[in-house]
Structure 1
């Protein structure tokens, strides 16, 4: 298994360093069809737009091998829009909640009324509303908003960014932090496990040590020799937490045997349903995770798309949602012998908790609701060159395993050849002598003559010379 260690001499090192797999990020937007009605307290109605597909390029940089059997690196990512794979263009307009306005309103909910009235006046002067109509490209990668400058001036520290704001702006042409993982050269059982992230052994976003722990790998490879009792765990900087997937079933992908690991029902459960998740609270309904503490205190929630596997009341509160296991579940197919993922589908949804805030006129009479913003799917496309590589890595050892038995059988056969030859030679010799006897009389005469040679001659008998 030396080929799956993080070592420049291993077969998988270049794959680990610069993933040759074409990764794609597919984004689905929830277009609000009745924003004016939502402001009057009615139920939101959304329609799904997309997918808007982006090719994701990844490469590791600053790779440094340490003395304690670890390696440190930063993985950089960039995205390129794929029009031919998308259903729509980045110039499409979408009605969405104004995340900055509604987040700022929630942040000052418990502040003095004077501050809230001042904020209402500022919103009005900047023509800021509770909903916005912007292009897909702007929502994705950022747009200029005077509100950011205003908030940073009068409420410094409320927003951790300056300039443009976009849901995925911080991910493009950036890295996911400094990972330090075990190489497995000295201790193979720890290969790919995260030792530290950004120098930390645990994060401080959450309210319990268990929720703050950095467990598992960086999400690319896992330790080999998996069994159905094995779990797949990885740390996600985007989700600000570790996630654990559990074994579901064995299968085959592109001719390669795999184990499928899926998200457990408790992944986004609230503390009342699953007590170990209490550290992620304050919580709302089960099935959505509050990520405000790691997302500039905005009331954002993480879940499966369409609130799949969540409290049914969440999907019922928004018209146009249709949760489906087939379309919205999260899974990972891993080759159990090597720990290398063969196929994956990471699907997550970002939602905004919104409601009317007294003193903030722009929120009007919005009824409390968790409104989906976008959901995204991230996964690889297994091209023919990579399939060939994986088959070389995975199937070749299996072929060699059977070849050694074939060679042992051939060697045993070759050892039997001289033994069989000797036995056949003895049989041939016996048959030769038997064939040279001529009838029963000759046989009897020969036998009598042989006996006479073996019998002692009587005294006085003269032995005569035998003539041929």
Structure 2
């Protein structure tokens, strides 16, 4: 079978052109599919279902601080605390009163229900624990009326909060910047994220907007992910971090006074065990051991879609206590920020949603990526073979011409040597007259 260099070269060039076409069109196709799927639209499929009724298993681990020396505290001694727990609850979320508006927004209320999980807990709900105040979870509660953008007309705005309870900003704080309602509702974010993007969301529990920062990229359950963490300045006071001056009056750095949105109750929020806070706070009580492994929060998010893959949100509630003049029950309590409890709200993508995401966002793009590289490799190989074959043919032609030229010269020399001496080639051309008749 004769190899035709031109055919090989043409086939190679066509494969390369097709591979380049895939390199250009596949990312655009994926982008269009993601844009269509992550909109808050009943016709968008999986993303809308996940947004409406979160299928990811969510668990809240509750840790309580038992006061071991209540009488001594009344006498002015340092509080001694013992952490109890975790008491783990399965958390169910669902949205109700979903209403779409003409300005590409949708309003809803999200409700939560908790079921105790004894198999995951280090205690039972019947345990008796001494606390300065009892805070109970209200099942079927909601965090207010959120109105967010659907992203139908602008995918960059999907999930961003338009207003909360009809408000464009809150009035709990002392500066316009601190009162701003920014980001999402904390469930999903706009797609096509880059490491320079912050993870911003409005937290009704914190009465303010929170912002997480990019830490590193990696893979979570086989999916590409960005990890976001809370900056050390999130609950810093105005002295340590001037932009937070609007959240004051402040105490030591590392706690946020939320009394203005908690009916003026002296409640503060912080990271568990006063992690990332002024050491004065955790040294004022016994039994706290702040560390990054146990007490830092994080969110692993899929940057292409903006959907969280693995979440661990950890916050602590603290009560400011002191002796009150005229109320003998408060005794001689020294002013102290007393931890009440902390919780870890966890969730990770699993089961059918994980399989769907993996197939659509990892497996299919990988197949196209390998196909592109394979076509490029085969195309280059065919072009190379065509060039080599052409060179070989060219050398063979030169060699044949050289041999042919040498043979002709030798034949002419041999003919001349057969002539009798003194006779020319012309006489050989003379023909008998009878052959010309």
TM class by smaller structure? 0.7 to 0.9
Question: Counterpart of 1:197?
Answer: 164
Secondary structure at 2:293's aligned position in 1?
helix
Residues 1:15 and 2:50 aligned together: yes
Question: Counterpart of 2:270?
Answer: 303
Residues 1:78 and 2:119 aligned together: no
Pair 422,37 (structure 1): closer, same or farther in 2 beyond 3 Å: closer
The answer to whether the Cα contact below 8 Å between 1:289 and 1:301 also exists between their aligned partners in 2 is: yes
Question: Counterpart of 1:378?
Answer: 345
The answer to whether the Cα contact below 8 Å between 1:24 and 1:381 also exists between their aligned partners in 2 is: no
Separation (CA, whole Å) in 1 of partners of 2:49 and 2:412: 85
Residues 1:394 and 2:361 aligned together: yes
Residues 1:5 and 2:39 aligned together: yes
How does the TM-score come out when normalised to structure 1? 0.74
* CA-CA distance at 1:5 after TM superposition: 2.4
The answer to whether the Cα contact below 8 Å between 2:38 and 2:44 also exists between their aligned partners in 1 is: no
Residues 1:253 and 2:220 aligned together: yes
Separation (CA, whole Å) in 1 of partners of 2:309 and 2:388: 52
* CA-CA distance at 1:422 after TM superposition: 9.8
Deviations 1:39-77 (A, max 9, x none): 111111010000000000111222222222222222121
* CA-CA distance at 1:33 after TM superposition: 0.3
How does the TM-score come out when normalised to structure 2? 0.79
Gaps (5+ residues) in structure 1?
A: 99-138, 140-165, 450-456
* CA-CA distance at 1:251 after TM superposition: 2.6
RMSD after superposition:
3.4
Question: Counterpart of 2:304?
Answer: 337
Secondary structure at 1:78's aligned position in 2?
strand
Question: Counterpart of 1:351?
Answer: 318
Pair 418,216 (structure 1): closer, same or farther in 2 beyond 3 Å: same
Question: Counterpart of 2:5?
Answer: none
* CA-CA distance at 1:184 after TM superposition: 1.9
Question: Counterpart of 1:68?
Answer: 103
Separation (CA, whole Å) in 1 of partners of 2:99 and 2:432: 105
The answer to whether the Cα contact below 8 Å between 2:191 and 2:306 also exists between their aligned partners in 1 is: yes
The answer to whether the Cα contact below 8 Å between 1:338 and 1:394 also exists between their aligned partners in 2 is: no
Gaps (5+ residues) in structure 2?
A: 1-30, 416-425
Q: Find runs of 4+ consecutive structure 1 residues off by over 3 angstroms.
A: 406-427, 440-449, 460-464
The answer to whether the Cα contact below 8 Å between 2:274 and 2:281 also exists between their aligned partners in 1 is: yes
* CA-CA distance at 1:321 after TM superposition: 0.7
Question: Counterpart of 1:26?
Answer: 61
Pick which of 376-385 and 207-216 moved more. Answer: 376-385
Deviations 1:262-290 (A, max 9, x none): 11111111122222222222221111111
- Equivalences, count: 387
Pair 426,287 (structure 1): closer, same or farther in 2 beyond 3 Å: closer
Secondary structure at 1:62's aligned position in 2?
strand
The answer to whether the Cα contact below 8 Å between 1:233 and 1:242 also exists between their aligned partners in 2 is: yes
Task: Choose which of 358, 363, 371 in structure 1 pairs with 2:330.
Answer: 363
Task: Choose which of 186, 193, 200 in structure 2 pairs with 1:233.
Answer: 200
Separation (CA, whole Å) in 2 of partners of 1:79 and 1:401: 43
Separation (CA, whole Å) in 2 of partners of 1:60 and 1:291: 26
Secondary structure at 1:93's aligned position in 2?
coil
Pair 401,224 (structure 1): closer, same or farther in 2 beyond 3 Å: farther
Pick which of 196-205 and 369-378 moved more. Answer: 196-205
Question: Counterpart of 2:27?
Answer: none
* CA-CA distance at 1:401 after TM superposition: 4.4
Question: Counterpart of 2:136?
Answer: 167
The structure with higher relative contact order (CA 8 Å, sep 6+) is 2
